[in-house]
A and B are shown apart, each in its own frame.
Chain A
Amino acid sequence: MTWVNAVIQGLLLGGQYALIACGLSLTFGVMRIVNLAHGDLAVCGAYLGLVLSTALGVPVWITLPLLLPAAFAAGVLLQVTLFGRALRHGVLAPVLVTFGLSVMIENLLQEAATSDPRGLNGGALALASFRIGSQITVSWLFMTAFLTACAVLSGLQLLLSRTSWGRQVRATADDLDTARLVGIRVRPLFATVAGIAVATAALAGVFIGTIGTFDPYQGTNVLIFAFEAVVIGGLGSLWGTLVGGMALGVTQVVVGQVNEAYAVLAVHLLFLAVLAVRPNGLFASHQAASQQLGALG
């Protein structure tokens, strides 16, 4: 039963990884930016949640209607002022710019909030749990994080596949030059994509901060797990990202069951193994595949 429990806990943990990773996947898929500050932006979300919930004296969930629009606006601002400009100077510039942003965020957080680990007030939800059978206890908080991840991914998938905005995003991901040519206004489109990516990162940060603790330098670690989830799942596939996150979560918890010291190492080994056997990830989208075909042709 401990193994079943480990798998269930691992799957739920994977949802959190997927929630962080979906913004990374979206920005890379559409704008070809690997945002190295993505994890730090998630941690910023947690700090913003801390500030708001302390100031208002309410559980962090209540502050989400303020926090998420603020994060969206921050994403739009970053895209317009930094990422968009960096993109015009080749592939290396965005890497350097986002790396610099990451270093700046970590040090600014350290200055403003010290390096003490913090936690968020999750209200009654943080302690509630329910039982499956007699031996497995599932935390409502983990369950909520997992369901939120599923809801966010489904929502994004629906937006991408059903709306005119989504059509334009996919067209731009396919071929930026032609997207411009057929009249798509790329700048506002990129700004909304960046806004959504940062908002989902901040939401993930709130869950990170409620489930565990966070400190100014945690962003790098968060980024690595998110990045691995994206690569395992296959670039450009949101459902692949969820599966990738779950694979990471299950590996981490199951190996942790055997020996806690090897849990994180096992996750990185899984990532390396997938990279070696299926470099495109388990669920590389048709889009990525057809682009490769196009490049070959």
Chain B
Amino acid sequence: MTTLLEVTGLEVFYGDFQALFGVSLSVAQGGATALVGANGAGKTTLLRAIAGAQPAARGSISYRDQNLTTAPPYQRIAQGIALVPEGRKLFPSLTVEENIQVGAAAAASKQWPLDRIYETFPMIARRRGQRASTLSGGEQQAVAIARALAAAPTLLLLDEISLGLAPLIVEALYQTLAELRQAGTTLVIVEQDLRRAMDSCDDLVCLLEGRVALAAPVPALTRDQVVAAYFGETATSGETAT
């Protein structure tokens, strides 16, 4: 399998606060990678840095062998990277359809016209004329994913899409993600539910205080190993954050 995304030695700062310390990550084309870790471990920062929303102080991000480390978000979208941000972040005054159309502003291709998106998410098709702020949480999450899909991504980054949603809705969203994978979209998923993360992904990366604590194919991992990495129990004292 070819490598789609290659992150090497990535360091990201918020002012004086360092959020990522030399993070490296490799995502194979067509795969699904689960990104897990405690709150504040740097999962969201890593996704935002890959999408171009957070500048990299050091390290590099390359995509299909192109260096995108300093590229602005619209160029990364045109290359096929789209992010579903944490907290959905819909445009509240725009309708559902307008939110999706805005997502196509810098689209990589015309692979995802509106009808295909509505076919994929029937639950939002009948809400298309409504303001995004009037939807339920599950519907809003579906619109957020639809907005990212409108950019026709080859790599879809999903940040905590199940947060605060009913289990049935989450089940339906993950069903859709499985269909997207079959259609050839590569996924990187931040998920708090470890069981769901391990069930739906081939690879798992666990971040701990801004560093990669564990990275391996899911079949090679036990739940206990992941939990240990999650809480830093295998970490030596030198690895704690400064």
Contacts and interface: CB of A to CB of B under 8 A. Distances in A.
Interface of A: 164, 167-168, 170-171, 173-175, 177-185, 285-287, 290-291, 293-294
B37 interface: no
Nearest to A174: B91
Interface residues of B, number: 30
Given A174-B92, A174-B93, A294-B92, A183 B133 contact: no
A182 B92 contact: no
20 contacts: A164-B101, A167-B98, A171-B102, A174-B92, A174-B94, A177-B89, A179-B91, A180-B72, A182-B103, A182-B105, A182-B147, A182-B148, A182-B151, A183-B73, A183-B74, A183-B106, A183-B107, A185-B72, A291-B92, A294-B133
A168 B102 contact: yes
Contact of A167 (B78, B85, B94): B94
B92 A184 contact: no
Most buried by B among A175, A177, A182, A290: A182
B93 A181 contact: no
Given A181-B85, A294-B92, 4 more contacts: A170-B93, A180-B74, A183-B106, A293-B133
Contacts of A181: 48, 51-53, 73, 83, 85, 89
Given A164-B101, A171-B102, A286-B131, A184 B91 contact: no
Contact of B53 (A180, A285, A287): A180
B142 to A, nearest CB: 16
A178 B106 contact: no
A290 B131 contact: yes
Contacts of B93: 170, 173-174, 285-287, 290-291
A178 B51 CA distance: 11
A183 B105 contact: yes
B162 to A, nearest CB: 19
B73 A167 contact: no
B77 interface: yes
Contacts of A293: 92, 133
Contacts of B107: 183
Nearest to A178: B89
Interface string B91-124: 1111000110111011100000000000000000
Contacts, number: 85
A286 to B, nearest CB: 6
B106 A175 contact: no
A41 B228 CA distance: 64
Nearest to A293: B133
Given A171-B91, A290-B92, A184 B105 contact: yes
A42 B200 CA distance: 60
Contacts of B78: 183
A196 B94 CA distance: 22
Contacts of B83: 181
Contacts of B103: 182-183
B53 A177 contact: yes
In the complex, the 6 A-B pairs of residues with the closest C-beta atoms, listed nearest first: A183-B106, A287-B93, A183-B77, A174-B91, A290-B92, A178-B89
- Which among B83, B101, B102 has the greatest number of chain A C-beta atoms within 10 A? B102
Nearest to B134: A290
Interface in B35-75: 48, 51-53, 72-74
Given A183-B151, A185-B74, A170 B91 contact: yes
Contacts of A174: 91-94
A293 B131 CA distance: 14
A196 to B, nearest CB: 19
Contact of A170 (B52, B74, B94): B94
Contact of B102 (A167, A286, A294): A167
Given A167-B98, A183-B103, A287 B92 contact: yes
A109 B85 CA distance: 49
Nearest to B93: A287
B87 to A, nearest CB: 10
Nearest to A187: B72
A174 B50 CA distance: 23
A217 B217 CA distance: 71
A182 B102 contact: yes
A170 B51 CA distance: 22
Contacts of A184: 74, 102, 105-106
Contact of B94 (A171, A177, A180): A171
A17 B73 CA distance: 39
A178 B148 CA distance: 11
A185 B105 CA distance: 9
A178 B85 contact: yes
A164 B105 CA distance: 8
A39 B74 CA distance: 35
Nearest to B106: A183
